[in-house]
Amino acid sequence: MPVRKKHGPYDIIADDVYDCRIPLHNELAYQHGIHFEAKYVGSMEIPRPGTRIEIVAAMRRVRYEFKARGIKKRPVDITVSVDGVKVVLQRKKQKEKGLSWDESKLLVMFHPIYRIFYVSHDSQDLQIFSYIARDGASNTFKCNVFKCSKKVSSTAIQEHLSKD
């Protein structure tokens, strides 16, 4: 039976799940898309951020503005794939079967990976994350803020967005 060596007071990572050098999903999963459930807080146009402090300030400004206006968070499905990030409103469960959904009407936003400028989470609230994307037509930057479910931390979603 092999004996595990200890390196001083520190032990080698026992579980590969916690090793950030090993990808959580294979490349095929990113081809099809990785799905997350979250609540869409809101979006706001911002000037091009230069520092991490400006990015966090923009994220908190979006949260504050939408909370002050009393705008409710909408449940959405976020799909991260090699094509980009797609945000779609979650469908309400209907009792009547046979209703068809037009996904184009449910689409909140789509950003190709190359347009995503920065991905961040709020260090004070690990359920909050945002990404800043450049709009192709107007060449402006938009900060999109989400609150993830308690089952998944925002750092996990941030890791998937940053991978691509």
Instruction: Tell me the CATH architecture of domain 26-90+100-152.
Output: Roll (2.30)
Q: Would you list the domain boundaries of the chain?
A: 26-90+100-152
Model-wide pTM > 0.75: no
Q: Give per-residue pLDDT as tens, 129-155.
A: 899 999 888 889 999 999 987 666 666
Neighbours of 78 (CB within 10 A): 25
CA gyration radius, the chain: 19
Q: Give per-residue pLDDT as tens, 109-119.
A: 999 999 998 88
Residue 38 backbone dihedrals phi, psi, to 5 degrees = -155, 175
